[in-house]
Structure 1
Amino acid sequence: MADTVWTLDSSDGALTVTTGVAGPAAAMGHRLTIAMAWQATVRWAGEPVSMELSVDVGSLEVLRGEGGVKGLTSPEKALARSNALKTLGANRFPHITFRSDQITKTDGGYRLSGTLEIHGKAREHVVDLRVDDLGDNWRMSCDAVVRHSDFGLKPYSMMLGAMKVADEVAVSFSAERAK
């Protein structure tokens, strides 16, 4: 069977990151929901055999903040974006990538074993991708946890570390593709 290549991007779905807040003053901080632009290429030979996802770090947009003493204002969203871009070293490392050439079928979709690269540091990572048949479309989705410390990143902190972004962030992905 000839190889088929799927190309998907942000117009097909969403990739969001949700941060937590840590430290003695954590109740004062906002848990942020961040969106980022992405593009993925999936190569098929009857079944998916490889995939590559690239995330544009500079596209980072703070959608909302939950918790905190008061609501997150537009200037605070801009400051949070600036701090996140600094933490990720966006000028030097403009993309986050996940590559997998070990894809295994599971009951609900596929297990993608591969390499996640953030801030120039690569780590082995496994993602369980759910695939739902919607009739005319396929919906692909997954949730994963990524730790700043695994990639040599120092989460943003303030008040001498009494309030800081938690080490673990939750990543959610969902996209649809016509059959």
Structure 2
Amino acid sequence: MTKLPTSRRQLAYMALVLFAPVVLTVALVCWAPPKPGQTQADMWIAVGVVALLVVMMTAILSLSALRHAIDITPDTLVVKHSMYTLKLERAAVTSATVRELPSMDAARLSTKKNGTALFGYYSGWFWDTRSNLTFCAVSGQPVYLVAFEGSAKCRQLVLNASPEVAQRIAAWANPPTAN
């Protein structure tokens, strides 16, 4: 199993997006004037709900930060990125091409199917402008586009990885032919 790189800057942006609403909620709970009939127990319930939200958001951010790996076996390619997973069977892929992208715009993504796109962080399932299902695992540079041929549901994989990992994926998808 190979770890994919993560970007601390993008994780900081994600933390900001996740925790900004919680900070505003805490401010409202702490500084809002009490309503008539409000008790101290009501305040503690509100604090407990906010604490539960903070724990849940921290768990989501931790999962996003820790789950970035790729596993290449002779039969499968598994990419785990944040909360999303791509699993391709070797039998469903006849060949693949790999190329480095100068920017994420070159991936020509159009719509999120089930994923996250924040500040250059792309994780999950997207449609491209040609209606190809694309799995993204991007949290830094360099970015590679792997286009699959065959009967696999996923037609493209966009990921940031080392050139060696990109070439391992190409070798997995394009095994040498026996003469």
Query: TM-score scaled to structure 2, two decimals?
Result: 0.28
Q: Identify which of structures 1 and 2 has the higher relative contact order when contacts are C-alpha pairs closer than 8 Å and 6+ apart.
A: 1
Q: Which of the pair has more CA radius of gyration?
A: 2
- Whichever structure has more helix as a proportion of its residues is 2
TM-score (norm 1): 0.28
